Structures are given as C-alpha cells and as structure tokens.
C-alpha cells in the first residue's frame, strides 16, 4: 500500500518523507488556502522534495479552461498528477491529459459508477472520499470495496486512492480491502504508531528499569 500525504504543509511532508513514509502528496484548493502559500511555489517545493506523484488541482469547471490550468500545473514538475473533479467536464479534461501522457487524479468520487467512468477516461488515480460519505451516513469503506471488485473484474489499471481519511481504522480497513493508495493528513499517519498498551508497557518497563539503578551508557 502506498502512502500519500494529504497536505500542502511542507514541514509536515518533510518529517514523514525523511522517514520514508511518503510515496506521494495530494493537495486541493482548501489545503492550499490552509498553507497560506502560492500554489505554484508550494507545489514546486513539494515536487522537489518528493519523487512520487504530487496532485495539484484545477479550479476551472469547464473542460477547455481545466485543460489550460492543468497544462500549466503539469509544467511545475514531471511528477505532477493533475487533479480534476469528477464531473463530465473533468472526465473530458482527464481524457485529454491522459492522452498526452500526464498522470491524472480524478477527485470528489462518491460512487462506484463515477469510478467506472474515471477508469474509462484514463485516470491514473480515482479518489473516493471515505470520510465525507461516513459524514452522510453512507459507508465509505464499502465504496472502496465495490470499486476494488469492479476494477479487478475488468483489469482497470486506475489506482484506487482512498481519500478523506479521518482515522487509523480507515487506513487499516483500506489496506485489508486492497486500496492501492491512501492519502491521509500527517496527524492520522503519525497516529498509526500509537497504542494504549504500547504506552502502558513502556511506562512499566521504565519504572522497573529505574528500580534496577543501572544505566546502559
């Protein structure tokens, strides 16, 4: 399973990247706003640091304008994945980008039917939003399982990039189903290391060690 980091926070990406935890990065307009940075500058900085795909999202809603924006974003670096929304215009732009050899991440996917269209339009990645489905009482993990089944049935090459990840359980559930990639906020990836029994066990070991009066160095 590949780990993408869902952020435009360069320091947070660097911390995980230095540990070998980063196979790629995803950004979106909300994350660019949160970073307070210029999209072209911050995306270039991320692309220089991370060798895997870095998703940068278009904001136009009409295919021709999306294509113009996407081609500009693709010039930032060879590892840009142009991110387009799952609309008819987005699929049109996806097909145009894919035909020219660009990586495309089709985002804002909320149904298996949408995921089929993205695969047929040549998307490199489909981004189903698990957390936002859960927010609306629809099982996001079930959608990942449905898309896995469908893509495997027809040997679609589009990678399932599970997005809108809110919890450690989302990540392990996606891994069990066989999602190709998860993209998660840095805090959720770091939370994977935490376990109450690890903390409790370490606390006991340290207390017992202190009682020995020994030191290793």
Q: Which residues contact 93 (CB under 8 A, 6 or more apart)?
A: 58, 63, 66, 67, 70, 82, 84, 104
CB 114 within 8 A of CB 85: no
CB 163 within 8 A of CB 144: no
Q: Which of 6, 9, 89, 173 binds ligand G3P (CB under 6 A)?
A: 6
Q: Is 176 designated active site?
A: no
Would you count residue 164 as binding ligand G3P (CB under 6 A)? yes
Q: Which one, 138 or 197, has the nearer CB to ligand G3P?
A: 138
Q: Which one, 2 or 132, has the nearer CB to ligand G3P?
A: 132
| Residues 19-58 close enough to bind ligand G3P by CB under 6 A | 26, 28
Candidates 44-52, 62-70, 129-137, 172-180; binding stretch for ligand G3P (CB under 6 A) = 129-137
What does the block give as tokens for 164? 């809108």
Q: Which of 12, 132, 146, 168 binds ligand G3P (CB under 6 A)?
A: 132
Total residues binding ligand G3P (CB under 6 A): 9
The CA-atom distances, in angstroms, between 184 and each of 27, 77, 115, 166 are: 11, 22, 20, 7
Would you count residue 163 as binding ligand G3P (CB under 6 A)? yes
Would you count residue 105 as binding ligand G3P (CB under 6 A)? no
Could you tell me which of 15, 16, 11 has the C-alpha nearest to residue 3?
16
Please report, as ranges, the residues that interact with ligand G3P according to CB under 6 A.
Answer: 6, 26, 28, 129, 131-132, 163-164, 183
Catalytic residues: 83
């Amino acid at each position: 399973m590949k780990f993408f980091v869902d952020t435009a926070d360069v320091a947070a990406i660097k911390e995980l990247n230095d540990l070998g935890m980063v196979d790629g990065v995803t950004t979106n307009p909300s994350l660019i706003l949160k970073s307070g940075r210029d999209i072209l500058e911050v995306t270039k900085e991320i692309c220089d640091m991370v060798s895997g795909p870095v998703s940068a999202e278009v904001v136009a809603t009409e295919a021709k304008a999306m294509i113009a924006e996407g081609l500009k974003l693709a010039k930032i670096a060879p590892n840009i994945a142009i991110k387009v929304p799952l609309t008819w215009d987005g699929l049109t732009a996806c097909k145009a980008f894919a035909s020219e050899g660009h990586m495309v991440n089709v985002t804002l996917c909320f149904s298996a039917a949408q995921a089929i269209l993205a695969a047929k339009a040549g998307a490199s990645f489909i981004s189903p939003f698990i957390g936002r489905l859960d927010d609306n009482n629809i099982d996001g993990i079930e959608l990942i399982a449905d898309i896995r089944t469908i893509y495997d049935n027809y040997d679609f090459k589009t990678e399932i990039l599970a997005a809108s990840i809110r919890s450690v359980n989302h990540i392990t559930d996606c891994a069990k189903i066989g999602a190709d990639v998860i993209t998660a906020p840095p805090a959720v990836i770091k939370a994977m290391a935490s376990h109450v029994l690890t903390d409790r066990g370490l606390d006991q070991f340290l207390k017992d060690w202190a009682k020995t009066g020994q030191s290793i160095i």
